[in-house]
Amino acid sequence: MRSHRFYTPWLLMLPALVWLALFSVWPAINTVTLSFTNVHQLTGGHFIGLKNYWLLWNDPHIRDAMINTVVFMVVCVPLLTLLPLLLALLVQRQIPGIAFFRTAFYFPVIASAVTVALIWKWLLDDRGLINNLAQSMGFIHKTIPFLTDRWLLLLSAVALTVWKGLGYYMLLYMSALGSVRRDLHEAAAVDGAGTVRRFWSVTVPGVRGTMLLVSVLIAVNAMRVFSELYILGGRTGGVGGQDVSIVMLVQQAASGSDGRLGYASAISVFLFFLTAVPLLFLTRLNKNAQEES
Amino acid sequence: MRRTTAVSAIAVAATLLAAGCGVGSKSSTADATKTVATTAALSGSITFQTWSLKNDKFTPYFTKLIADFKAAHPGTDINWIDQPGDGYPTKVTSQVATGSLPDVVNLPPDIAHAVAKTGNLLDLKKNVPTLQTDWVKSGLNAYNYQDIDGGATFFGFPWYLGTDVSYWNKAMMAKDGLDATKPPKTFDELVAQAKVMHDNSGGKDYLMSRAPGLSDIANTGTKLLSADGTKFAFNTDAAEAMLDKYTQAYKAGYLPSNVLDNSYEGNYKLFTKQEVAWTTGGGNAITSMQKDNPSLVPNMVPSPALDTAPLYVQGISVSSKSKNLALALAFAEFVTNNQNQVDFLKLAPGFLPGTTASANDPQYSKSDGTPQGDASVIAYKDMQTAVNFTPPIWTDAMNTILNQEIAKAMTGKETAKQALDNTVNQANGLLTQ
């Protein structure tokens, strides 16, 4: 049997490595590099040391952006970790017509951003469906300012994210639930465990790996929240920019023919480190749980 | 091994960091100020770029225009390309970054300013002796930037000029006790009539339907820039008073509650839907309304813009990196000469040529008796005093800040003074970054 040449595995990996280098490694290094310059879209620039980070520290919008981003993540992670699991438990049963519900729950995932924007703005507008309905039924006399109040807009963005993400994470859980042993459920039932007890003691430990994966994915996506807030709050990030997120600051800094690429890169680097914190926390949490069990 | 890898990684990162210190396209004005030899016969080919003008209405005009030029200059060829309306600044930015800016290009003053700063546009003053006599001053000034060569250069031929005309819905106004033939002429009169409409309709109808912007600040008589033109200084008492009036009107319900949020559709759209009785629009808005809501057209009454009308300019620039500068310059002059502009604007009523020969042409001051004809005459008259309010150093990012701060003031989160001070400070901060 002929032995493989040493470079054979590298050749096989080459396309993926080139792709990774071009579209992940190089942009990442370039972002860090740019963050120490005052490069603009068209006019170039030069090395300015840590000035962009100093500007970021003094940016009047960074505090709001950090609060919004972290609140968004803290609310989204538990909701999108647990709700899809419950949904998956509901739709994994083999009953007539269940395929319709699975499709219906997955539908928001494939809906286009434009459609989602139109639907949600129409729902939440001062003269939108929810306000009109609530007023006509006499529940409220004054419209609910979903799109103008800072926290209501943020919660509306959370609702939009949960609605749009439920189906995707439900699919991940459905696949994980298939590997939870049925005999464990039966044994627990024989021991007198009810539905809730079996959920926490059998189902949850059985899908813990998937739960960690889902929570990490949600945390990373939540830290990069942009489109949901842009859809509801517009390019200014809500009324007066009070619902701006960190990625929106990146977009605002870099856009236009006078876009500040250096400053936008500094915000991106800051976001990278900010994202690493919850990731490390979740990984640590899982490690501890595994050691305890 | 691990140590070697780490050292190599640091070395690579350091090299990239050093290389990155000069990243981005370099600014160079050397090409911009060169003199183009125009004595030899023209030959070769160039690319000509327009912005959203290749359609059933304008394509025949440009086809003939190019054919006429080629007939006058045998051996030349013009490759006409057109870019879609959306994302034009991004397109031009990428063209500059990749060195593929067309030889002759339609640029509004703000985009031209960004491109001129990179040295990619040719100074026309140095190459066109008749520049300041053949093209109107207000149009030329839009392409003259204080922060480039101290304002000694001009980077665009004025092509067509536009302004805002006020349009009123006479049926809505009559219903609420107002007369569209006696519309407001100033901002204060507008607020007064907005109150009448609000009170008489029980708060259901609106006259005002937009938050203020930079032009509203300028219309208070406030100079947007400091005397030396290097900093913003529009946080004046007059601007503060104007913003306070808007805030009071908003609180009193004279404007739709959603003018500050993302569900706001714009005053023209609201006017089209007959939810508000006033909008501003170009001199051709009635023609546009024929498509959007024909039933509204008989109710549209045009009047001059409130206070001082804004001036909107479109121009034709020449790329300083063109490999055939003589042909590019000749074609740009040809496109923007008086006769060709007059012919072009026959297709776009409500706009005015950017040439001095047409500026006082009596044909633009006579209405054909239709509302569109009246609007065109109003636009023509407005343009005699219209002002291009937006300084070229005003960027998208600054406009976002202004909108955010105005929204804070109108919702009571800040005073008008705080909002204006914050805007000026942040905008000035951006100038130095």
Rounded distance, CA B289 to CA B291, Å?
Answer: 5
Does some domain include residue A92? yes
Does some domain include residue A221? yes
**How many Cα atoms occupy the beta-carbon half-sphere of A281 within 13 Å?**
11
Residues of chain A where predicted confidence (pLDDT) is lower than 50: none
In the CATH hierarchy, which fold is given to the domain comprising B165-310+390-431? D-Maltodextrin-Binding Protein; domain 2 (3.40.190)
pLDDT in tens, B167-218: 999 999 999 999 999 999 989 999 999 999 999 999 999 999 999 999 999 9
**Domain span including residue A234:** 38-292
**CB-based contact, A256 to chain B, within 8 Å:** yes
pLDDT in tens, B53-77: 999 999 999 999 999 999 999 999 9
Instruction: Quickly tell me which residue has 């049997």 as its tokens.
Output: A1
Residues of chain B with Cβ-Cβ distance to A259 below 8 Å are 397
**CB-based contact, B432 to chain A, within 8 Å:** no
Task: Write the CATH number for A267.
Answer: 1.10.3720.10
Report CA torsion sign: B193, B199, B200, B201: positive
Output the DSSP codes for A44-103.
B--B-TTHHHHHHHH-TTHHHHHHHHHHHHHHHHHHHHHHHHHHHHHHTS--TTHHHHHH
Strands B165-169 and B300-304 turn out to be antiparallel
Q: Give pairs for B64-67: CB < 8 Å, separation 24+.
A: B65/B334, B65/B335, B65/B340
- Where in chain B are the domains? 44-163+313-382, 165-310+390-431
Residues of chain A with Cβ-Cβ distance to B111 below 8 Å are 257
In the CATH hierarchy, which fold is given to the domain comprising B44-163+313-382? D-Maltodextrin-Binding Protein; domain 2 (3.40.190)
Q: Answer whether residue B18 shows pLDDT above 80.
A: no
**How many Cα atoms occupy the beta-carbon half-sphere of A255 within 13 Å?**
15
Single-letter amino acid, residue A22: L
Residues of chain A with Cβ-Cβ distance to B32 below 8 Å are none
**CB-based contact, A257 to chain B, within 8 Å:** yes
Token pair of B24 as six digits:
């981005």
pLDDT in tens, A227-262: 889 989 888 888 889 999 999 999 999 988 788 999
Does some domain include residue A19? no
Chain B nearest-CA distance from A251, in A, is 10
> pTM value?
0.81
Q: What is the pLDDT of residue B170?
A: 94
The CA-atom distances, in angstroms, between B398 and each of A148, B214, B313 are 21, 10, 21
Rounded distance, CA A270 to CA A281, Å?
Answer: 18
Residues 15-44 of chain A with CB under 8 A from chain B are 29-30, 32-34, 36-44
Q: Report chain A's C-alpha Rg in angstroms.
A: 24
Q: What is the pLDDT of residue B9?
A: 41
How deeply is A30 buried, as exposed, middle or buried, from its count of CB atoms within 10 A (0-12, 13-18, 19+)? middle
Q: What is the pLDDT of residue B29?
A: 61
**CB-based contact, A160 to chain B, within 8 Å:** no
Rounded distance, CA B125 to CA B156, Å?
Answer: 9
**CB-based contact, B273 to chain A, within 8 Å:** no
Please compute the mean of the pLDDT values over residues B341-366 and round it to a whole number.
Answer: 85
Does some domain include residue A175? yes
Q: What is the pLDDT of residue A1?
A: 55
pLDDT in tens, B357-387: 887 777 788 888 888 888 888 988 888 888 8
The CA-atom distances, in angstroms, between A105 and each of A84, A100, B419 are 10, 9, 45
Residues of chain B with Cβ-Cβ distance to A228 below 8 Å are none
Q: What is the pLDDT of residue B7?
A: 40
Q: What is the pLDDT of residue A43?
A: 77
> Residue B70: which residues within 8 A CB-CB, separation 6 or more?
B76, B77, B78
Q: What is the pLDDT of residue B28?
A: 56
* Residue A226 backbone dihedrals phi, psi, to 5 degrees: -145, -65
Residues 215-244 of chain A with CB under 8 A from chain B are 231-241
Does some domain include residue A6? no
Which of B89, B404, B433 shows the shortest C-beta gap to A257?
Answer: B89
Q: What is the pLDDT of residue A2?
A: 60
Mean pLDDT of chain B: 88
**CB-based contact, A120 to chain B, within 8 Å:** no
Whether residue A233 and residue B261 make contact (CB cut-off 8 A), yes or no, is yes
What is the number of structural domains in chain A? Answer: 1
Whether residue B23 and residue A34 make contact (CB cut-off 8 A), yes or no, is yes
Give the residue from A251, A258, A269 with the most B CB atoms within 10 Å of its CB, the best one to mutate: A258
Whether residue B413 and residue A240 make contact (CB cut-off 8 A), yes or no, is yes
Q: Which residue of B has its CA nearest to A52?
A: B433
Q: Answer whether residue B293 shows pLDDT above 70.
A: yes
Chain A nearest-CA distance from B9, in A, is 11
Q: Answer whether residue B424 shows pLDDT above 50.
A: yes
- Tell me if domain B44-163+313-382 and domain B165-310+390-431 are identical in fold: yes
